Amino acid sequence: MLAAEQLAVFTRVIAQTDSYRGVCEFFQYSLETVSQNFRQVLQGVLTLRDDFIILPNASSPYHHHIRNNSHFYPYFKDMIGAIDGTHVPAMVPVCKQNRYRNRKDFVLQNVMTAVSFV
């Protein structure tokens, strides 16, 4: 399996509600192949975490946009980050849309994001 395809398999596993079997069917690979390649890409991602994922702490400097803005700084001066959630429209196969329907019958996905101000 090519590296780009391994990344596509990995992305589909973590971003979709498909089971491994669903991913196998989609990419036409065996369960063993998909599982091995998923683990291989995951290990690659984990080796990058120390370089690209930096958790803020109380001594982290504030982003200049917050520090130099009198509208933001008084409210965010003691914050190290923010978590928020929202609903976004989802493109889901018809057979799976019931899982994504909200109380107003829209097909949506709940997305939670976390950001730092560093």
Per-residue pLDDT of the chain (118 residues; tens, 9 = 90+): 899 999 999 988 888 767 889 999 999 999 999 999 999 999 999 998 888 777 766 676 777 777 788 887 887 777 766 777 788 888 889 998 998 898 889 999 888 777 765 5
- Measured at the CA of 78, the angle between CA 73 and CA 82, to 5 degrees, comes to 90
- Measured at the CA of 79, the angle between CA 77 and CA 81, to 5 degrees, comes to 135
Q: What is the pLDDT of residue 84?
A: 78
The interaxial angle of helices 3-15 and 31-52, nearest 10 deg, is 90
- Measured at the CA of 58, the angle between CA 69 and CA 52, to 5 degrees, comes to 90
What residue has token string 């890409």? 41
Q: What is the pLDDT of residue 117?
A: 59
